[in-house]
Structure 1
Amino acid sequence: MTIFRLTSILLLSVVAASALAAGSVRYKWRDAEGNLHYTDSLPADAGVRGYEVINAQGIVVKRVEPAKTPEQRREAKVAADAARAEKDAAERQQRADQQLLAANPTEKDLIETHRQQLEMIDLQLSSQHATLESLERSLTDLLGRAAALERSDRPVPAKLAGQIGDLRRNIETQHALIERRKVERESTVKDFAKELDHYRALREKYGQH
């Protein structure tokens, strides 16, 4: 707030106080039908619709806003909550940006961090593929045993049939896990590209070339 504005507010307060003390004020208000009134006193419900205090020179020295309706109060609360949420989000983003710059002094540092994280995902994928291959070999073995029994007109034991069913379900699950991991990797690559662009913009913004 500027000194001029502060001085104006203080002066207005002094004028209002003096006018009220001197009893030389009038009130400007509207009734329920919207008709404008200038009176020396206020009706009992003036605070609901709001009013203005006017001094002898016709200057408004005080303004009382109308009372808010329940709907207006709800709207004000929604707006205040949205503004607070926006402010909180901006502060979180600022902290995240500061951490990003502090953790990665150079662009090469960030690229290396991305490479290491992708390498971890690739290792997990490799492990999942190895598990899948092992399950498929086991299934092939059990299916071979079951086929041999059928060729010799011998029934396939319930235990063997159950093992075959379990392996097939495990293989389906493993396939799903691998597909999810691949999707995760693709998403991570895109996120890293966006983060790198954001990092470059931050360094440009703060003059870190």
Structure 2
Amino acid sequence: MRLRIVTLIAVITIFLPLSSQAGKLYKWVDDKGQTHYTQTLPPSDAHRARSQLDEQGIIVNEVDAAKTEEELRQEAEQERLRKEQQRLVEKQLAQDRVLLRSFRSEDDIQMTRDGQLQSVDTSIRVTQANIKRLKLTLEEMQQDAAKRELSGRKVSKKMLQDIETKRQALEDAYRSIIDREHDKNRIRQSFARDLKRFRELKKLEQSNDPIQEARASFSTALQNVYHCQSGDTCEGPWKRAKAYLKAHSTTPIKIEGENIVITGEPVEDDDISISVSRINDRKKGTLVIFMDLQCKIISLQKRLCNNVELIKSIKQGFRNELAKEGKLSQSLP
């Protein structure tokens, strides 16, 4: 130990004349762990950590080793993440301020939500009325075409085009209902998040999970919609959908095409009319099979049918039936 101290003093003494001229002496360690004392760092070692000594050999400044490219990359990424986090915090705070200014209570949130849902429901009812008219018109056109064929007259190209146009309009109307249900889901999800956050900010009891309830409502609303797998032509489920229609509709089939089957309008109080169609869901980019149920309305004010529970049961079983693989289900009545 004494020998090392003497050696260090000797080295510093040797460099004192130089240091008095240059005013700098650096201490640094190479890759082999050897300590060096120099007035300048070799260019190849300029990246190393070093200490600057004064004339008495006391450290007056320290310089960290230069960062590697990977360290610089990680440092930049950390800075980016910190800025992004700060941006999200500021955005959330701004949203919280808007939320608290917009609503004074949970009831305010729910009433605003219900108002928007009611607006969409009104649009759906208008579309449903249009569907009913389209069905009747299409049925009349099909019957007229059939009568012409039976009488030996040729069905004109224009009549066939008109029938196809009505079919396309009917499919578009079904597609519109699916789109509106997606709109209702977005409304429910948005207000569910607002309600949950409002309760957190006001420190109110979270008696239920509004987000989970919104998801459940969407699933219930689309019980009559079956989504095919991406790229699937849906042949198996489509066959099962037609079998399901025949098993549950109380009115006879009036129109049967490649992608649509329609039964007659309900006449008796207990009648159930079912239509199924295979259409494109523009929101998901896949084929869907849509089932439309109609009954004879016995209460115009409440829009109730005579067989509400049976219709509910038919809707609940639709997707499960179409999801079955292999042969058509033997459980169909």
Q: For residues 72-87 of structure 1, what are the structure 2 equivalents within 5 Å?
A: 72-87=71-86
RCO comparison, higher one (Cα < 8 Å, 6+): 1
Unaligned runs of 5+ in 2: 1-18, 205-333
Question: Is the contact made by 2:26 and 2:41 (CA closer than 8 Å) also made in structure 1?
Answer: no
The equivalent residue for 2:40 is: 42
The answer for the alignment partner of 1:152 in structure 2 is 151
CA contact (8 A) 1:47 1:64 kept: no
The code of the aligned residue for 2:29 comes to R
Report if aligned partners of 2:27, 2:37 keep a CA contact under 8 Å in 1.
yes
Alignment of 1:104-115 (within 5 A): 104-115=103-114
Structure with the largest fraction of helix: 1
Match of 1:28 in 2: 27
RMSD value, Cα? 2.8
What displacement does 1:153 show?
A: 1.4
Q: Which amino acid aligns with 1:93?
A: Q
Going from structure 1 to structure 2, the CA distance change for 1:127 and 1:91 (only over 3 Å counts) comes to: same
Q: Structure 1 residues 145 and 85, CA, compared in 2 at 3 Å: closer, same or farther?
A: same
Aligned residues of 1:135 and 1:167 also touching (Cα < 8 A): yes
Deviation digits for residues 47-66 of structure 1 (CA, Å, limit 9, x no counterpart): 4123233565755x433222
CA contact (8 A) 2:109 2:191 kept: no
Aligned mates of 2:140, 2:160 — CA distance in 1: 12
Name the CA shift for 1:44/1:57 in 2 (closer, same or farther; >3 Å).
closer
Q: Deviations over 1:157-189 (max 9, x none)?
A: 100100111221222222122123223323432
Map 1:85-104; keep pairs closer than 5 Å: 85-104=84-103
Task: Tell me which amino acid in the other structure corresponds to 2:28.
Answer: W
Alignment of 1:1-209 (within 5 A): 26-31=25-30, 33-45=31-43, 46-54=45-53, 56=56, 58=58, 61-204=60-203
SS of the counterpart of 2:65?
coil
Instruction: Decide whether the 8 Å contact of 2:51 with 2:63 is kept in 1.
Output: yes
SS in 2 for 1:29: strand
Separation of aligned partners in 1, 2:72 and 2:195: 44
* Matched-pair identity in %: 24
**8 Å contact kept, 1:26–1:38:** no
Is contact 1:29–1:52 with CA below 8 Å preserved after alignment?
yes
Amino acid at match of 1:89: L
- The whole-number CA distance in structure 2 between the counterparts of 1:78 and 1:135 is 59
TM, length-normalised to structure 1: 0.74
Compute the displacement of 1:201 (Å): 0.5
The aligned counterpart of 1:7 is: none
TM-score if structure 2 supplies the norm length? 0.49
> What 5-or-longer segments of structure 1 have no aligned partner?
1-19
How many residue pairs match? The answer is 184
Once the two structures are TM-superposed, the CA of residue 68 in structure 1 deviates from its matched residue by: 2.5
> Aligned with 1:49: secondary structure?
coil
Take 2:66 and 2:176, find their aligned partners in 1: how far apart are those partners?
A: 60
The question of whether the paired residues in 2 share the 8 Å contact of 1:28 and 1:36 is answered with no
- Please give the alpha-carbon distance, in whole angstroms, between the structure 1 residues aligned to 2:58 and 2:181: 76
User: For residues 86-108 of structure 1, what are the alpha-carbon distances to aligned partners after superposition, in whole Å with 9 as ceiling and x for unaligned?
Assistant: 21111111101110111112322
User: Where is the strand percentage greater, Structure 1 or Structure 2?
Assistant: 2
